[in-house]
């Protein structure tokens, strides 16, 4: 039989089992000196396996994090020190009985294909053997009521043994190999009790055959394997469906592209082999393989994979395009700017995998239970055997059969899968909607939200406001553009775009929530809010002319010149009014907290139907307001994008930022969303609520399953067949229940939660519940 994890031959070993390949050559090191390596780990089947690996590695000196992704079997280790320690970490994992190789998505795909093929072959052998053994068993059973002699019965038993022994050896390989690998390292896993149960049943039957006993259980052993293999195969397929989000994205990142050579010829190459500045040709119907700039051609591109937007976007020369987007209508020549692991698509894959393997409160609870599960199960099985043999009047074969049933029926797979498989499905669903969750406890905290606070500029409005009012003095525009070149703020970028040829000024200071400043030869020049520029309401009224009720203004003050005003008219993000109305209808409290002038925030709030709003807020003001809400028993979600929003994002119960936000804001947020619409927000809240509910359902089911079936098995009321069906069904049902998240409908009903604030007063909050 082919090795069940053939892909692990990519990391060869010497005769002593030591790794030949120096893994330190595959280590990535960041600017802070933190080393990271990604490894592919075999024989990982449940949360118990994940816990053993992570617990072992965290004991290694210098390791900062060690995380195993259950869906992709990807082990990510981060540490400080010598890069050669990567070999020590791999050896430590292999000492636990888990083979290790360098992580490559191609290896994951190849491994999955090999595993599926081997499971199908083992399933076919077990079915053939079980069917023939059942026919022989029926003949023997019928003979008990007829005239079949002992010699004939023994003959049938020997024929059954000749069929059963090689069939058990072959069909049991998926379980035996994993169990042996674990036992060699002094460990146990879920396949150990399964293997013990099957082998004990076979050995008992061989003993009965050798001694001429009346009963054999060969048909039971093969039927047990057949049922277990059906469960393992279905579990493999269903979990493959659950992890398809990471798989599909990662495979897209590795697709070949057509490189345009200097002589005009096209050469197919791997996308990660390109360098910045290389050009590729993308035909209609192909996916773009790099982040870059369109240099020739025009087309419409489908960006749904990246930002969840379903409407194609038109691109022409000079437009930015991202890897993973689909070119729909015309050929394009694209100049690469970011390739391989530096693309937005690669970053999405990393964030998605990180989201899948994060450990929240529920995962920690499940891990603690699984930690004590195996020794408890083995103790119960031994106790059942001794109890029935010594005190129940049973002989050894009958008592052993009850012990086998206890071993099989109490497999911890369902509990081990209860939380991680739900996280995998939730992360995949959100990624398809353009939402990436970063924090390990984010989904749990998003599910508790009852109050949502929005920033204004760049959050409710787009990052490209219209510049509708310019100063009469052209020199003011030139100077403002030169200063604004140092900022990523959307208003600054709009000013820069209005005079992009102006020279860039160095030594510009950025004061979050206020504006920019630069010390010229004549004195300090400021660009920002009226308050930052030291202007009173009288001065702003004197030097500025209101164009409409919703515009925002930026001021430029410089020695010897009158203040210059730049007026902007905000563009609301698509569907913003509908999203706000939906959130309010579902019982959420909605507020706006903006650093913009109150006279500009008010009309926007009125337009959106938001009565709770504040303007002229500093970062400290926002934190104080959020802390006040939290003291009143509120669970606040902060949605913001600017540098000045970062403290508020950190202070809130949960936080969300667009991918267009400042770098530090994206890092501070618990989740980021892509695309121009706020529709991601109700989607995130509904998915979080549904995830919490399904996790609790899975944990409740897993605990209830064992509370029911363990006593039934100990009392001898189940056969190995029933035990195998129950064990396999428990894992499959947990996974199928998690997959229901894909059919979740946002905000089907309201749920009212009652709690108390810090003062002990009752507080009733209403939050949206997704329908699953």
- Active site (catalytic) residues: 455
Please tell me what DSSP assigns to residue 657. Answer: E
Q: Name the helix (H) or strand (E) containing 613.
A: strand 612-614
Beta bridge partners of 76: 38, 67
Beta bridge partners of 751: 767
Rounded Cα distance, 52 and 670, in Å: 28
- Sorted by sequence, the CB contacts under 8 Å of residue 31 that are 6+ apart come out as none
Rounded Cα distance, 362 and 694, in Å: 11
Is the distance from CB of 290 to CB of 310 less than 8 angstroms? no
Is 146 exposed, middle or buried, given 0-12, 13-18 or 19+ CB atoms closer than 10 A? exposed
Rounded Cα distance, 658 and 435, in Å: 9
Q: Name the helix (H) or strand (E) containing 28.
A: strand 28-29
Rounded Cα distance, 619 and 652, in Å: 13
- Which residue matches tokens 């023939």? 132
Quickly count helices (H) and strands (E) in the chain.
26, 29
Kindly report the number of other CB atoms within 10 A of residue 530's CB atom: 22
- For every residue of 489-553, which 3-state class applies, written as one string? CHHHHHHHHHCCCCCCCCCCEEECCCEEEEEECCEEEEEECCCCCCCCHHHHHHHCCCCCCCCEE
Structure tokens at 681: 């927000």
Rounded Cα distance, 423 and 414, in Å: 14
Rounded Cα distance, 559 and 353, in Å: 53
Is the distance from CB of 748 to CB of 770 less than 8 angstroms? yes
Give the C-alpha distances (Å, rounded to integers) separating 478 from 307, 469, 482, 485, 565: 35, 15, 6, 11, 13
Half-sphere exposure of 704 (CA within 13 A, CB side): 7
Instruction: Provide the terminal-to-terminal Cα distance of the chain, rounded to the nearest Å.
Output: 42
In the chain, helix, strand, coil percent, each to 5? 50, 20, 30
Name the nearest CA neighbour of 558 among 593, 587, 534, 531.
Answer: 534
Characterize 728-759 residue by residue with b for buried, 16 or more Cβ atoms within 10 angstroms of its Cβ, and e for exposed.
Answer: bbbbbebbebbbebeebebbeeeeeeeeeeee
Half-sphere exposure of 229 (CA within 13 A, CB side): 28
């Amino acid at each position: 039989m082919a090795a069940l994890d053939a892909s692990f031959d990519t990391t060869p070993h010497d005769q002593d089992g030591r790794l030949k390949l120096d893994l330190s050559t595959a280590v990535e090191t960041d600017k802070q000196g933190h080393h990271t390596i990604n490894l592919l780990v075999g024989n990982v089947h449940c949360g118990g396996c994940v816990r053993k690996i992570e617990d072992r590695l965290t004991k290694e000196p210098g390791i900062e994090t060690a995380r195993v992704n259950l869906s992709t079997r990807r082990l990510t280790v981060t540490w400080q020190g010598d890069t050669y320690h990567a070999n020590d970490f791999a050896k430590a994992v292999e000492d636990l009985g888990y083979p290790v190789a360098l992580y490559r998505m191609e290896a994951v795909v190849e491994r999955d294909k090999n595993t599926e093929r081997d499971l199908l072959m083992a399933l076919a052998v077990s079915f053939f053997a079980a069917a023939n053994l059942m026919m022989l068993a029926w003949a023997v059973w019928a003979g008990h009521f007829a005239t079949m002699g002992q010699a004939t019965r023994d003959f049938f038993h020997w024929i059954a043994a000749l069929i059963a022994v090689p069939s058990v050896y072959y069909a049991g390989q998926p379980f035996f190999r994993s169990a042996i690998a674990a036992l060699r390292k002094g460990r146990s896993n879920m396949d150990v009790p399964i293997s013990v149960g099957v082998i004990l049943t076979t050995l008992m039957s061989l003993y009965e055959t050798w001694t001429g006993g009346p009963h054999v259980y060969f048909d039971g052993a093969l039927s047990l394997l057949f049922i277990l293999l059906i469960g393992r195969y279905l579990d493999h397929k269903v979990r493959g469906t659950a992890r398809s989000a990471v798989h599909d994205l990662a495979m897209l990142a590795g697709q070949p592209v057509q490189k345009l050579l200097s002589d005009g010829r096209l050469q197919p190459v791997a996308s990660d082999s390109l360098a910045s500045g290389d050009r590729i040709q993308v035909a209609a119907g192909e996916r773009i393989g790099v982040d870059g700039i369109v240099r020739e051609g025009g087309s419409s591109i489908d960006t749904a994979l990246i930002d969840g937007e379903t409407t194609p976007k038109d691109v022409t020369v000079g437009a930015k395009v991202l890897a993973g987007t689909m070119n729909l209508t015309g050929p394009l020549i694209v100049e690469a700017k970011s390739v391989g692991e530096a693309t937005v698509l690669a970053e999405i894959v990393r964030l998605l995998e990180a989201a899948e393997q994060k450990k929240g409160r529920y995962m920690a609870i499940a891990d603690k239970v699984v930690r004590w599960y195996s020794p408890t199960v083995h103790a119960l099985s031994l106790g059942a055997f001794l109890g029935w043999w010594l005190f129940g009047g049973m002989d050894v074969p009958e008592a052993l059969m009850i012990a086998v049933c206890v071993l099989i029926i109490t497999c911890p797979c369902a509990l081990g899968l209860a939380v991680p498989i739900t996280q995998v499905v939730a992360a995949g669903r959100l990624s398809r909607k353009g939402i990436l969750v970063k924090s390990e406890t984010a989904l749990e905290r998003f599910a508790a939200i009852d109050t949502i606070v929005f920033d204004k500029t760049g959050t409710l409005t787009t990052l490209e406001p219209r510049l509708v009012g310019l100063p009469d003095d052209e020199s003011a525009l030139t100077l403002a553009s030169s200063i604004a070149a140092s900022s990523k703020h959307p208003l600054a970028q709009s000013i820069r775009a209005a005079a992009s040829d102006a020279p860039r000024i160095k030594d510009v200071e950025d004061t979050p929530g206020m504006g920019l400043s630069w010390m010229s030869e004549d004195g300090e020049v400021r660009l920002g809010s009226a308050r930052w520029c030291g202007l009173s309401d009288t001065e702003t009224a004197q030097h500025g002319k209101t164009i409409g009720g919703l515009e925002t203004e930026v001021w430029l003050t410089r020695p010897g010149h009158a203040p210059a005003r730049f007026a902007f008219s905000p563009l609301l993000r698509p569907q913003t009014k509908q999203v706000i109305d939906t959130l309010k209808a579902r019982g959420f409290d909605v507020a706006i907290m903006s650093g913009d002038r109150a006279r500009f925030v008010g009309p926007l709030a009125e337009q959106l139907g938001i009565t709770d709003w504040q303007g002229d807020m500093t970062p400290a003001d926002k934190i104080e307001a959020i802390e006040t809400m939290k003291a009143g028993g509120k669970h606040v979600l902060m949605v913001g994008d600017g540098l000045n929003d970062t403290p508020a994002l950190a202070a809130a119960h949960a936080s969300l930022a667009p991918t267009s936000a400042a770098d530090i804001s994206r890092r501070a947020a618990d989740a980021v969303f892509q695309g121009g619409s706020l529709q991601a927000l109700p989607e995130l809240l509904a998915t979080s609520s549904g995830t919490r509910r399904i996790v609790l359902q899975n944990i409740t089911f897993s605990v209830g399953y064992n509370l029911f079936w363990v006593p039934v098995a100990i009392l001898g009321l189940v056969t190995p067949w029933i035990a195998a069906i129950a064990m396999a069904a428990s894992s499959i049902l947990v996974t199928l229940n998690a997959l229901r998240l894909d059919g979740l409908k946002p905000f089907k009903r309201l749920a009212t939660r009652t709690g108390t604030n810090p003062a002990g007063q009752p507080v009733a909050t209403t939050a949206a519940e997704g329908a699953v």
